[in-house]
Amino acid sequence: MLDTTLNASPDTCHWGFFDANLPPALTIASGDEVVINTVSGGPQNLPSGEFHIPPELLEIHAAGVPSFPGHILTGPVSVADAMPGDTLRVDILEVSVRQDWGFNYFGPLKGTLPLDFPQVHHTIISLDTKRCIATMPWGLELPLAPFFGVMGVAPPQEWGRISTIEPRAHGGNIDNKELVAGTTLYLPVYTKGALFSCGDGHGAQGDGEVCVTAIETALQGRFRLTVLKGHGLSYPQAETPTHYITMGMAADLDRCAEMALREMITLVSQRAKISRENAYMLCSLAGNLRITQTVNREKGVHMMIAKNLIDVG
């Protein structure tokens, strides 16, 4: 089994977009592990002082800042034998912070309260990677729980080049804080090789990501990418060691909740071998709907249910 590393660089990163026509930065076999290094932020987000700035971030800036906003993603990684109609299983084995700072940004016409804060607010947050702590400007020590805000495959060819900002059926800017090390993400495959990319490293985030950003920082992730042939997944799903997760992304939170619930009814019915009516009832009694994020134009809701309630056999 191959275990390789894909570093961030101007040649291995794409900034602000997903595109099925983007050539792979790396090709691996199904079941291989890959270490992916990511960076975050534009020139306006850099700190002053003694903080460590990854040199590859400066190289990416020097290569040209895009005229439209979006995330710096490392990839794509092509997984051999992945074809449209398959599912890509993304086992998130390890996630670690690569620098001693992160940033948080919000301003007018952004976030959950776009009219409430008329001035740009940009904060550099010190990160202690040994203690796994972020120190807020007023002294609060906030535990780090790093995860990748963006994990996705290439979208369908017909979509063309799309922004990284909106999460969609291919994954992308999901911003689900549950997807830490030890969890698994499942993504539908739309193009040969799947073309997996990740970025938008978060040191910590609450459900909602309400001001528009988390603690944005550089991360390293170790992933196992496995092709599940013919699974026919139509929308991203995930699992933690204890829970299954379904998702809904749309401009309206009500629709997001309906999407996540319908996906969970199907999952529960199939795994527990019960009717959809009984699955709907169990979702009401034991499922939990949570707001994933409210800031990416396409908002997100995810539903969680404990595995031990529905796994049969």
What's the CATH code of the domain at 22?
2.60.120.580
One domain for residues 118 and 257: no
Listed in sequence order, the DSSP H helices in the chain are: 55-63, 253-272, 276-286
Q: What is the dihedral of CA 132, 91, 163, 233, to 10 degrees?
A: -150
Contact present, 148 and 179 (Cβ < 8 Å): yes
Whether 50 and 127 share a structural domain: yes
pLDDT of residue 226: 98
pLDDT of residue 154: 98
- In this prediction, residue 213 carries a pLDDT of 98
- Domain enclosing residue 61, as ranges: 3-81+91-226
User: Helix, strand or coil for residue 122?
Assistant: strand
User: Which of 226, 252, 275 is the endpoint of a domain?
Assistant: 226
Task: Answer with the one of 191, 226, 261 that is the final residue of a domain.
Answer: 226
Q: ∠ CA(187), CA(191), CA(193), 5° rounding?
A: 80
Instruction: Establish if 231 belongs to a structural domain.
Output: no
The reply to whether 57 falls in a domain is yes
Q: Residue 186: which of 248, 242, 228 has the closest Cα?
A: 228
pTM, full prediction:
0.96
Note the pLDDT of residue 313. 67
User: 49 burial class (0-12, 13-18, 19+ CB within 10 angstroms)?
Assistant: exposed
Query: Do 155 and 47 fall into the same domain?
Result: yes
Shared-domain flag, residues 136 and 253: no
Q: Rounded to whole angstroms, how far apart are CA atoms 47 and 53? A: 8
Tokens found for residue 207: 């459900």
Q: What is the CATH number of the domain that holds 253?
A: 3.10.28.20
State the Cα–Cα distance between residues 239 and 92, nearest whole angstrom.
11
Judgement on whether residues 183 and 282 belong to the same structural domain of the protein: no
Q: Are strands 72-79 and 26-28 parallel, antiparallel or unpaired?
A: parallel
Tokens representing 146 are: 């790093």
Query: Hey, is 186 helix, strand or coil?
Result: strand
Ordered per-residue pLDDT tens for the chain, 313 residues: 556 999 999 999 999 999 999 999 999 999 999 999 999 999 999 999 899 999 999 999 999 999 888 999 999 999 999 999 999 999 999 999 999 999 999 999 999 999 999 999 999 999 999 999 999 999 999 999 999 999 999 999 999 999 999 999 999 999 999 999 999 999 999 999 999 999 999 999 999 999 999 999 999 999 999 999 988 899 999 999 999 999 999 999 999 999 999 999 999 999 999 999 999 999 999 999 999 999 999 999 999 999 999 998 6
Residue 13 in contact with residue 60, Cβ under 8 Å? yes
In a domain, 235, yes or no: no
CA 294 – CA 254 distance, rounded (Å): 12
Long-range contact list for 129-136, CB < 8 A, 24+ apart? Answer: 129/96, 129/97, 129/100, 134/102, 134/203, 134/204, 134/215
C-alpha angle with apex 213: 40 to 42, nearest 5 degrees? 30
> Quick one: which of 251, 146, 245 has its CA closest to 187?
245
Answer for the pair 15, 160: CB distance below 8 angstroms, yes or no.
no
Determine, yes or no, domain membership for 233. Answer: no
* Domain's final residue, options 201, 226, 251: 226
Does the residue 266 lie in any domain? yes
pLDDT score, position 8: 98
CA–CA distance, 224 with 233 (Å, rounded to integer): 18
Cα dihedral sign, 184-299-207-259: negative
Q: How many CA atoms lie within 13 A of 300 on its CB side?
A: 28
Count of C-beta atoms within a 10 Å radius of residue 274: 16
pLDDT of residue 49: 87
**What's the number of domains the chain is made of?**
2
